[in-house]
Structure 1
Amino acid sequence: MKNLKNKLKKLYPKDFEKTYGELVKIINDFKKKNPVLVKKQGPIFTQKDVVLICYADHVQEKGVKNLQTMQKFLHKYAKGFINKIHFLPFYDCSDIDDGFSVKDYYKIKTSYGDWSNMKKINKDFSFMFDLVCNHASIQGKIARKQLAGAKKYQDYFLIFDKKINTSNVFRPRTHPLLTPVKTSDGAKFAWTTFSHDQIDWNFNNPAVLLEMVKILLFYFSRGAKAIRLDAVAYCWKKSGTACFDLPECHILVQIFREVFRKVAPQAWAIAETVLPHERNIKYLGDGHNESHFVYNFALETLLLHTFLQEDATVATNWLNSISNNFGNETNILNLSVSHDGVHVIPAKGILSNAELMAVAKDSKRKGGKVLYRSVPGGKEPYELNITYPSAIWGIRKYLASQAIQMALKGVPLIYFNNLIGAENWSEGVKKLRLSRAINRQKFNYDELITTLENPNSRQHKIYYGYTKLLKARINEPLFSPLTNQKLLNYSKHILTIHRYNKNKHLIALTNVSGKTIKLNLGNLKTVFNKKELKNIINGNKYKLDSNILIKPYEVLWLK
C-alpha cells in the first residue's frame, strides 16, 4: 500500500502516518467480512454494460413503498438489456436538491423503503450509487453535532467565525457562498457551494476522508458495483484559489481508486466533473490511478447540434479526436441528458458560441428552459432544461440520436425519462418553481404501464424502439468499450462509426437528416472483406457493391 501512503502524505503531511494506519485498518476489516468482493474476475466492462439512471420513486403506487414498485417495473421493463441501475441519491435527506442534501448516508428515505428492498432489486441488477462527497445537509447528524459544539466534530464541515474573502472562488450557483448559521459559540458562516442547506465537508481534516471511505465500503456491501464521486472537483478548498478542480481533487480521486483496488477491483470509480472535455478527461489519470470513467457531457449538446443542423461534420471530427484515448481500465460514459438537464459548457470550444446559442434557442422554442451565465460582453447558455424526446422531436429522429449514443465507444447511460419517451413536464416547473423539474417527472405505475402497452402511443413506439436497439447492442461484442473506434466521413448527413477489433468490423450508419441519402456501399470495401452485409438491428441484408437509400433518421448497424 505504498502508493496509498504517498498520496496521503501529499494531502496530510502532518497526519499521514496516523491516517494511513486508520485507513489500512478500515480496509482490512472490510476485506475480512467481504472476501467475495476482493476477487477480480475478467474484464470490468463489456458491451453488456448499460446503465439506467433513475430516482427511487420514479414510478409510484399509492400505499406501496417506492422501491417495491420500482422493483416490479424494472423486472418487467429493464431486465435483460440493462444490467446496472444508477439510483440517484435515495438516502435520508432534506427536501432540497432531490436527494443530494443527505442527512444520513447509511439510511434509505423511509417513503422509498429499506435495504431489504434494494437487496431484492440486486437479484436482477447491480447498482451504481452516489457518494455525495462534497457536501451534506446542514440538518444531518454530524453537521448538527458540529454546530452544537461537539469537540470531536469541530472540523468536519467548513464553518468560519467571520466572513472570509471568497472573490476567487468559482461559483456554479448564484446564491451567497457563505450562509449564516447558529452554533453553540454564536453566529458563524458555513461554506455552502450548492444551496443554503448543503454544507461543504472539510477534506483538509483527514477524518472526513476516513468517514467517506467508510460510507464507500458500506455501499459496496449493499451491492454497488459503480460509485459516482459527486461534485468531486469541488471537494478541496485552498485560500486564494478558485477552490475548483485543484490538483488535490485529483489526489483524492487517486486515493479512492486505491481503495477500490484493494476491496472491490471489479467496481467502477466515476468522477462526476462538469468541465470542458480536455479537463474532464484528466480525471482518468494515467489510465490506472484515477477514475475508471468520466462522463461524456459534451455529447449531450453535440447531438442536439447535429440533428438541428442535419450535419454530422462537427460530431465526426470531435469524436474522432477522442476515439482511442482509453486503455483497458478506463473509458467514457455516453449520455444525452441527465436529471440535471443538458450540460452546455462541456461543448464550449467544440461548438462556436453562435452554434451553442442556436441550440439554446431551439430548445426554448420546443418548450425548454435555458439557464444563462454572464460573461464579458454578454451571456452564454450553461444548461438546458428539457426532455430529450421533446428536444429532438419525432420518434425516428429521437431514436436515431439514442442509437448514436449506443454505438459509440464507451458505456451508455440512459436516463429513465429517455427510455420511456417522456415529454416536457411543464406543469412540474410551475408546481415546484424549478426549471430542472421539466425532466424529473415521476409516474403512476398503472398509468405508465397502460401508456407503454398502448401500440398507438408515442411512448410505446419509443420504448420498444429503444429496447430493440439495446438488445442488438448487448449481443454484439464489437460494441465492447475495449474495441477500437474510428469515425468515417462519407456524407455530412450520415454519422458513420467504425467499430473494429483485429479482423472483425462493424459500421454504424445514422442518417441525421430529414432527407433520403444515397450511399454506395462499395465505399466500405476498404473495411469489409465480404460480399454481403447484415443489419444486426433487423436482419436485413445488403450487397457490398450496391447503392442503398438511407431513409430520414434511419439507423443501420452493418456487419
Structure 2
Amino acid sequence: MPESSNLQESIQYHLQFLYPQENHLQLVDQIAAIFADYEKPVSLKEIWSEQDALLITYGDTLLHEGERPLETLQRFLNEKVGETISSVHILPFSPFSSDDGFSVIDYLKINPKLGDWEDVAEIGKEHRLMADLVINHTSAESEWFQNYLAGKSPGKDYFIEVEEGEDLTEVVRPRASPLLRHVETPDGPKSVWCTFSHDQIDLNFRNPEVLYEFLRIIRRYLEEGVQIIRLDAIGYLWKEIGTTCIHLPETHEMVRLLRTLLDIYAPGTILITETNVPNHENLTYFGNTNEAHMIYNFSLAPLLLHALLAGTSKHLKTWLMSMPPAPVGCTYLNFTASHDGIGMRPAEGLISEPEQAEMIESIRNAGGLCSTRKLSDGSEKVYEINVTLFDALKATIQGPDDYHIPRFLCSQTIMMSLEGIPAFYIHSLLATPNDAKGVEHTGRFRSINRKQLNYDEISAELDNPSSSRANVFHEILRRMKIRGQQPAFSPNATQFTLHLNSHFFAFWRQSVNRQQSIFCVNNLTSKKHKLQLSQLNLISTDNWVDLLSEKSLQNRTGIVTLEPYQTMWITNRK
C-alpha cells in the first residue's frame, strides 16, 4: 500500500484539474479508503510478447444444454483453442436491460444466465481476463437511475440535467436518436443526457461520488482476476455545453487518473480505451505514455476491408506509413471485427466518399446492413457497417469468385502480422455467416454478428476437415502458433512499410534485438502476381524461408509467385 504522501503527490494534480472547487486532500483520502488493504501480486512476467493474442466473445455465444455459458466458454478455450489465445475479453457480463450488455443494471453482479463470479475467475486463471467498464452511462433500470427518479441517494445527483433551450448543436453523436430524455422527478420534469439511447443514461462525473462508485467497481474487478480494463465509450465521458462533448480535456484527465491509480494499486493491469473515432483522435489516448496502455487500431478494419474488396493497398499503405510506433510501454490492439459493426468514422479522411460508397454497396450485396448517425446539420451518414467479416469477404466489388476463404484468411493474417496484439472476434475465428434471422428477431442491425451457437454442433464442425469452418479455424490457429515463435512479431518490434505494386500490401518487422527480420507480403487480389525478391533487400549472409509454406528461398534476387490472397512471411530465422 503506497504511503499517503506518495498517493497525494501522484494523483492530486488530476483531482485539482477535474474538481477545482473540491477539497483535494479529502478526495485523496476517499480514494485511498476505497483501495485500502487491496494488494495485487506484482507479476515479473513481461506485460506482453509475440505469444499474446486476444479472443473477443460474449459470455453466452457458445451454449451447451445443462451447462452455464461461462463454463462452456472455458471448455471451448481448453478443448479447441489451447494456449494460442492468451487473453479473453468477455463482453459485458453483468445484468443488463438493452444493447446486449452495454446498458448495465448492476456492475457488481454477474448475469445469472451466464454463471457467477467463480466462473469468471476460473477463466481468469488460465487466460488474462479483459472486462468492460461501461463508464459513460448506466441502465435506466439501474438502482442509481431509479433513485434519481425518486429523488433519493445514491443516484440523486448522478446524472446530467439539461435546461430547456440549451444549444446542443455542436455535440458529436454516434447515434441518430434524440439526445435528451424527458422524465418526471420529485423536483418536476427534467431532461437527462443520453448519448447512445434512452435506456442508457449518461453519468455526471462532475460529481466525485460517481468517480468513487466506479473505483469501487474497478476494485471488485481486480479482486476477481480482471487484468485488462476496457473503458467503453470513454471519449464521451465529460460534457460541456457549447462544445462537441467528445475528447474534452477533462475526459483525458480522467483516463490519466485511472491509469495512475492502476499503476499504484494494481501494477501490471492494462488499461485500454475504446474510441471508435477518426485515427488522429484515437491516437491521442496514448497521452504522453500516461493514459491508455493499449488503444484499439480502429482504422485497420475499414481500410483492410476496402483493400481486399477493391484489390489495392493504396489507402492501407498510406495509413500504415502515417502510423507512429506505439510509445514505449504502449501498444495497439489490432482487430478486424468485433461485437459491434465495422466503424466508418475511423476511415474518414482515409477513404474517399465515392470509394466508401462502393465498398458499402459491396457489403449490402453480401447481405450486410448499415447504421447511421446524425450530423449537426440534421443529415445522416453511415456510422458503421453491420456484417460478419466472413460474409463481408465472400465477394469483391467485382462480384463473387472462388477465393472466399483465402481472402478471409488473408485478412486475419495481415491483422496478426502488424505491430500490436491481434484480437479475434469469436465469429471471425469460427467463420460465422450473417445472422439475418437474429436481426429480424431483435430489430437491431448489430445482431447480424452476434449469433449464439450450439457448442456440440460447433465442435462437430471443427472436427470435420471438409467444413469451411474447420478450414478457417485450424488455419488461423496454425498461423498463430507460427507467429508466437517469432520475436519479430513482438508487439513493439520495429515496423516499416514496403513500397511494392499496389496489388501487394507489404511491410517489414524486425525483432528488438535485430536478429530476426520478417518481410510480410500479401497479395490482395484474385490473380497471381510475381514478386521480385530483390525489392526486399534480403541480407546475403542469411538463409531465407517463408514461414507459412516452409519453402526455402535459395535465390535472394529471384522471382516468386504469390497465389490469389497468399501471404508470405519471409524470414531469416526459423
TM-score normalised by length of structure 2: 0.92
User: 1:160, CA displacement in angstroms?
Assistant: 5.3
User: 1:456, CA displacement in angstroms?
Assistant: 1.5
Determine the C-alpha separation between the residues in 2 that align with 1:237 and 1:540. Answer: 57
The corresponding residue for 2:83 is 80
User: 1:146, CA displacement in angstroms?
Assistant: 2.4
User: 1:159, CA displacement in angstroms?
Assistant: 3.8
Matches within 5 A, 1:131-280: 131-159=133-161, 164-280=166-282
Determine the C-alpha separation between the residues in 2 that align with 1:521 and 1:160. Answer: 63
Residue 84 of structure 2 aligns to a residue whose secondary structure is: coil
The corresponding residue for 2:545 is 534
Determine the C-alpha separation between the residues in 2 that align with 1:415 and 1:224. Answer: 19
User: 1:277, CA displacement in angstroms?
Assistant: 0.6
Q: Are positions 1:404 and 2:414 aligned together? A: yes
User: 1:144, CA displacement in angstroms?
Assistant: 1.9
Q: Are positions 1:512 and 2:520 aligned together? A: no
The corresponding residue for 2:397 is none
User: 1:439, CA displacement in angstroms?
Assistant: 0.6
Determine the C-alpha separation between the residues in 1 that align with 2:185 and 2:544. Answer: 71
Task: Pick closer, same or farther for the CA change 1:318–1:165 going to 2, 3 Å.
Answer: closer
Task: Please tell me whether the aligned partners of residues 283 and 294 of structure 1 are also in contact (alpha carbons under 8 angstroms).
Answer: yes
User: 1:362, CA displacement in angstroms?
Assistant: 0.9
Task: Pick closer, same or farther for the CA change 1:364–1:317 going to 2, 3 Å.
Answer: same
The corresponding residue for 1:360 is 360
User: 1:166, CA displacement in angstroms?
Assistant: 2.7
Determine the C-alpha separation between the residues in 2 that align with 1:182 and 1:374. Answer: 27
Q: Are positions 1:549 and 2:561 aligned together? A: yes
Residue 82 of structure 2 aligns to a residue whose secondary structure is: coil
Task: Please tell me whether the aligned partners of residues 521 and 569 of structure 2 are also in contact (alpha carbons under 8 angstroms).
Answer: yes
Determine the C-alpha separation between the residues in 2 that align with 1:167 and 1:35. Answer: 45
Task: Please tell me whether the aligned partners of residues 104 and 138 of structure 2 are also in contact (alpha carbons under 8 angstroms).
Answer: yes
Task: State which drifts further: 375-384 or 399-408.
Answer: 375-384
**Which residue of 428, 432, 436 maps to 1:422?**
432
The corresponding residue for 1:34 is 39
Task: Please tell me whether the aligned partners of residues 51 and 82 of structure 1 are also in contact (alpha carbons under 8 angstroms).
Answer: yes
User: 1:504, CA displacement in angstroms?
Assistant: 2.5
Letter in structure 2 aligned against 1:441: K
The corresponding residue for 1:286 is 288
User: 1:255, CA displacement in angstroms?
Assistant: 0.4
Task: Please tell me whether the aligned partners of residues 311 and 524 of structure 2 are also in contact (alpha carbons under 8 angstroms).
Answer: yes
User: 1:377, CA displacement in angstroms?
Assistant: 11
Q: Are positions 1:453 and 2:460 aligned together? A: no
Letter in structure 2 aligned against 1:236: W
Task: Pick closer, same or farther for the CA change 1:6–1:424 going to 2, 3 Å.
Answer: same
Determine the C-alpha separation between the residues in 1 that align with 2:363 and 2:459. Answer: 28
Determine the C-alpha separation between the residues in 2 that align with 1:153 and 1:347. Answer: 38
Task: Pick closer, same or farther for the CA change 1:163–1:112 going to 2, 3 Å.
Answer: farther
User: 1:239, CA displacement in angstroms?
Assistant: 2.1
Determine the C-alpha separation between the residues in 2 that align with 1:162 and 1:379. Answer: 24
Determine the C-alpha separation between the residues in 2 that align with 1:366 and 1:309. Answer: 15
Q: Could you list the per-position Cα deviations for residues 493-548 of structure 1 after superposition, in whole angstroms to 9, with x for gaps in the alignment?
A: 12112001324211111111111111122333x34343531222342211123321
Gaps of 5+ in 1: none
Task: Pick closer, same or farther for the CA change 1:26–1:396 going to 2, 3 Å.
Answer: same
The corresponding residue for 1:370 is 370
Letter in structure 1 aligned against 2:249: P
Determine the C-alpha separation between the residues in 2 that align with 1:176 and 1:213. Answer: 30
Letter in structure 2 aligned against 1:434: R
User: 1:147, CA displacement in angstroms?
Assistant: 2.1
Letter in structure 2 aligned against 1:242: T
The corresponding residue for 1:341 is 341
Q: Could you list the per-position Cα deviations for residues 332-355 of structure 1 after superposition, in whole angstroms to 9, with x for gaps in the alignment?
A: 111111111100111111111111
Gaps of 5+ in 2: 1-6, 395-403
Percentage of matched positions with identical amino acids:
34
Task: State which drifts further: 497-506 or 39-48.
Answer: 39-48
Task: Pick closer, same or farther for the CA change 1:190–1:163 going to 2, 3 Å.
Answer: farther
Determine the C-alpha separation between the residues in 2 that align with 1:445 and 1:214. Answer: 35
Task: Please tell me whether the aligned partners of residues 124 and 226 of structure 2 are also in contact (alpha carbons under 8 angstroms).
Answer: no
Task: Please tell me whether the aligned partners of residues 34 and 221 of structure 1 are also in contact (alpha carbons under 8 angstroms).
Answer: no
Determine the C-alpha separation between the residues in 2 that align with 1:51 and 1:388. Answer: 17
Task: Please tell me whether the aligned partners of residues 38 and 265 of structure 2 are also in contact (alpha carbons under 8 angstroms).
Answer: no
The corresponding residue for 1:127 is 129
Q: Are positions 1:6 and 2:31 aligned together? A: no
Task: Please tell me whether the aligned partners of residues 40 and 266 of structure 2 are also in contact (alpha carbons under 8 angstroms).
Answer: no
Determine the C-alpha separation between the residues in 2 that align with 1:493 and 1:365. Answer: 23
Task: State which drifts further: 422-431 or 42-51.
Answer: 42-51
Task: State which drifts further: 256-265 or 80-89.
Answer: 256-265
Letter in structure 1 aligned against 2:25: E
Residue 499 of structure 2 aligns to a residue whose secondary structure is: strand
The corresponding residue for 1:384 is 385
Residue 57 of structure 1 aligns to a residue whose secondary structure is: coil
Determine the C-alpha separation between the residues in 1 that align with 2:374 and 2:197. Answer: 20
